[in-house]
A and B are shown apart, each in its own frame.
Chain A
């Protein structure tokens, strides 16, 4: 069984994003970029399936500028077998990403496609579901546990009220939530080995996919700042302020 994992190069999770000078977009020059943390969890899960013997081959796909090669190398240093980069400098929105991935899936024919549940840059939380729709496949979103059984995939999902478990027919799409696993650290020898793993590069045009954005970002801005607060000396002062100043307690 083949597993395909989609990985996105995104702003590092420790970096606070700011609008650029004319408010037309987010300032990304000289900002640290990393693999989207949820995608790292998806990569880890695919590798574990391979280590358990359920997956024969693991492939990582990334879409974006040529620096995404680094993201793919990271995935390969973790243990993914090979990488595919769909290289473009354009803004690729979730629907376009799903369309590109659909073509890649049709070529590679994986039984499971893993994605992070959302990217921490645009916080869309759409791509996995969209890809499942375009392929007509089942989807197990926000997964915290996956079990491969004779009847298909058993996926436990983090939902608002707790945990929901569903059974999916295969092939299927899975999007990872935080508690699915803890991604491994990459070891130096594996970084060296990853440099020799195959990495194919193609363009959205070669795949015949129209990636024209459907959403126009009119402007970006920072949210209104909160007024500066005060430090209280003790709990009695805190209760007094909450009752008489903020009036949130009776």
Chain B
């Protein structure tokens, strides 16, 4: 039995999400290899080789592997698939884009967003916005899997000594082409990796008012998130969204401010260790999952909280 993890990287750095996929692969059993595909990404391969518990790194470089376009990366993965029983990637937007394409080309099902490995063919995954946990068994010869990163602790990123092997690039399918990218720049921690997340909802009221959320986040060294309602209303960019169809986070502390707690929002944060809710509506469903609830006007309570944290 052997597994291949399709890595994800940005600006020459291996993303932590990939490490969680390595952990899932390790739990399945057998040697774990990592594919690093991209343009000028040997540093990523070096980093991947240092991850503890990894057997071999395959490095495949071509201009058309930049930006992880699904059409090209999926055919590269399919060409490597003969040697593996399990193909895994993190359930990020990149992994979700590529892996179903791999699965269909191999004529197998994909098991999306697993949160545990029960055996080499059986996994659990949340469905219905996390209100149900399904235990799924695959009857396919090969398993294509995406991994919910919050459910698997990353292995040590330093101390391993895997070999790096060059892999010649496949052809450019010329189906799609990268044009541009607008990435949100922030001095704050990355949302899915932060220890503390402070999120605002519709109750925040405007883009300007989000400064209140940000001031608390900065006080706590936290990432800033948002509910779908806040994103839809244009208060913050889409990549702030926490929820069923946005990002899934599980920090040590999640502070939900002016968020009512719709099913789809809870799906993205209810595995947080400690949840705090601040909302003026004491009937808001968010209080049902909160460890500590504070009923009150966020415009008064949040600045007061920032002040209370000074002491």
Seen from chain A, the residues whose Cβ lies within 8 Å of a Cβ on chain B are 11, 13-14, 16-19, 26, 38, 93-95, 98, 117-118, 120-134, 136-142, 144, 154, 157-169, 177-179, 214-223, 226-227, 229-232, 234-236, 238-239, 241-242, 246, 248-249
Contacts and interface: CB of A to CB of B under 8 A. Distances in A.
A94 B133 contact: no
Interface of B: 10, 67, 69-71, 74, 92-94, 96-105, 107-113, 122, 126-140, 174-184, 192, 196, 220, 228, 231-232, 237-239, 244-245, 247, 252-253, 263-264, 270, 273-276, 282, 287, 289-295, 301, 304-305, 307-309
A177 B238 CA distance: 10
Contact of A139 (B101, B128, B244, B282): B101
Contact of A26 (B104, B132, B220): B132
Nearest to A98: B104
Given A139-B97, A216-B137, A178 B245 contact: yes
B112 A125 contact: yes
Contacts of B105: 133
* Interface SS of chain B: mixed
Contacts of B97: 129, 139, 141-142
A226 B253 CA distance: 14
A175 B263 CA distance: 22
Nearest to A219: B135
Contact of B71 (A16, A138, A157, A226): A138
A38 B264 CA distance: 13
Nearest to A182: B232
Contacts of A227: 291
A154 B287 CA distance: 42
A135 to B, nearest CB: 10
30 contacts: A17-B128, A17-B132, A94-B109, A120-B129, A123-B129, A129-B70, A129-B99, A132-B70, A138-B176, A141-B96, A141-B97, A142-B97, A157-B93, A160-B92, A161-B181, A164-B181, A178-B238, A215-B109, A215-B138, A216-B138, A218-B122, A223-B270, A226-B275, A232-B293, A235-B304, A238-B292, A239-B308, A239-B309, A242-B274, A242-B276
Q: Top 7 A-B pairs ranked by shortest CB distance?
A: A17-B128, A129-B100, A130-B104, A214-B109, A133-B104, A126-B100, A138-B175
Contacts of A167: 176-177, 179
Nearest to B97: A141
Contacts of B111: 215
Q: Is the interface of A mostly helix, strand, loop or mixed?
A: mixed
A166 B176 contact: yes
B305 A235 contact: yes
Given A94-B100, A129-B101, A230-B291, A220 B133 contact: yes
Contacts of B92: 160
A121 B305 contact: no
Determine which residue in A11, A26, A161, A239 has the highest number of CB atoms from chain B within 10 A of its CB, and name it.
Answer: A161
Contacts of A242: 253, 274, 276, 292
A122 B130 CA distance: 10
B208 to A, nearest CB: 20
B253 A166 contact: no
Contacts of A13: 263-264
B238 A232 contact: no
A214 B144 CA distance: 12
A160 B239 contact: yes
A168 B124 CA distance: 35
B126 A123 contact: yes
Contacts of B182: 162-163
Nearest to B309: A239
Contacts of B304: 234-235
A217 B103 contact: no
Nearest to B122: A218
A133 B97 CA distance: 11
Nearest to A158: B238
A167 B67 CA distance: 13
Contacts of A118: 245
Given A123-B113, A129-B101, 19 more contacts: A17-B129, A121-B127, A125-B112, A129-B99, A129-B100, A130-B101, A139-B70, A139-B97, A163-B182, A168-B177, A178-B228, A179-B232, A215-B136, A218-B135, A220-B133, A230-B291, A230-B292, A242-B276, A246-B253
Given A236-B308, A238-B305, A220 B132 contact: yes
B110 A126 contact: yes
